[in-house]
Amino acid sequence: MEQIEIGTSGLATSRIGLGTWAIGGWMWGGSDEKDAIATIRSAVERGITLIDTAPVYGFGRSEEIVGKALTGGLRDKVQIATKVGLAWADGKVFRDSRPARIRAEIEDSLRRLGTDVIDLYQVHWPDLETPFEDTARTLDALRQEGKIRAIGVSNYAPAQMEAFRAVAQLDAVQPPYNLFEREIEADVLPYATRTGLTVLSYGALCRGLLSGRMSATTTFEGDDLRKVDPKFTPPRFAQYLAAVEELKALAKVRYGKSVLALALRWVLDQGPTIALWGARHPGQLDPVGDVDGFHIDADTKAEIDTILARTVTDPVSPAFMAPPTRRPAGTP
């Protein structure tokens, strides 16, 4: 398994990270705890040592399951990345990175995760009602107190990261990034490369589209966000599926690989990146070995771009996932 240092924190981790949003169940149509625990343990057995979670994933459930899975001596073999700064009330999520909220949240996360230190602590979404400097100062204090080892932000723009970095050392940024969602190539990726930040690319499989298992008859259950994700609904679903079919053929002809391996390798070949791979069943991680042992050459990258331009004529960003920017009236 390839390794990478997270920024200049001195913390080394695997370049594939396990994403545990679906493990929390919320917005993924539920999850099974036994399977979830087995998935996390299986990831570690396969050399995936970075586990990415967040308080909001299942409103504490994902962090609790990660904590349970890492009992019995596994905690010290992994790097736990969790997040801060999304609050919830009555099932509605909103941004809150005020210092007092961070102070309360970290204690909840440490308890749920069953640990006394978080390896990478990331601000989940920019809180536009709180000065970035206040949030950064609080995280810096947590690092000095030994409660966290490295600091990251997620869904931040470069100007927001500049404000943050004026106060605290930033080691990582977590944006959406996959073959279909490439907005960060215009700003966040070059900024991160220039300033030494590690990029934890989320949705590396575009919420399963790039796994290669989906077809026009695929349906989603319960509160699964893909029911409303514009990539998974007409008219665009057919376009993305057509792209996947062509990418499948390309991956096979050029490298003898699956589209899943192509998609993850592509993310890893784009810069100082980590690919976050969401899974909730151990078998979903079976192809992990296929991601190694090859690189995507310039000609194949160009061919990928040609395929995407031809098939996805009406691309859409993942912006629909953004939580509201304003706190609800009456929030204490």
Residues that bind ligand NAP (CB under 6 A): 19-22, 52, 124, 154-155, 174, 202-208, 211, 213, 260, 276-280, 284, 287
10 Å Cβ neighbour count for 313?
11
Q: Which residues pair with 118 in a beta bridge?
A: 148
Q: Which residues pair with 95 in a beta bridge?
A: 86
* Catalytic site includes residue 57: yes
CA 287, CA 291: separation in Å to the nearest integer? 7
CA 144, CA 85: separation in Å to the nearest integer? 19
- Written as six digits, the tokens of 241 are 């599926």
CA 225, CA 100: separation in Å to the nearest integer? 31
Question: In angstroms, what CA-CA distances link 165 with 133, 136, 157, 162, 168?
Answer: 8, 8, 12, 5, 5
Beta carbon nearer to ligand NAP, 302 or 322: 322
Query: Burial of 186 by CB count in 10 Å (0-12 exposed, 13-18 middle, 19+ buried)?
Result: exposed
Q: What are phi and psi of 13, to 5 degrees?
A: -150, 170
CA 66, CA 53: separation in Å to the nearest integer? 8
Q: Which residues, at least 6 apart from 150, have a Cβ–Cβ distance to it below 8 Å?
A: 6, 7, 9, 11, 119, 120, 121, 143, 171, 172
Minimal distance, residue 295 CB to ligand NAP, in Å: 21
Rg of the chain (C-alpha set) = 19
Q: Find, among 248, 266, 267, 260, the residue nearest to 289 by Cα.
A: 260
- Written as six digits, the tokens of 320 are 């629909």
Cα angle: 69, vertex 178, 193; to 5 degrees: 95
Of residues 57, 156, 191, 255, which has the active-site annotation?
A: 57
CA 70, CA 43: separation in Å to the nearest integer? 11
Catalytic residues: 57
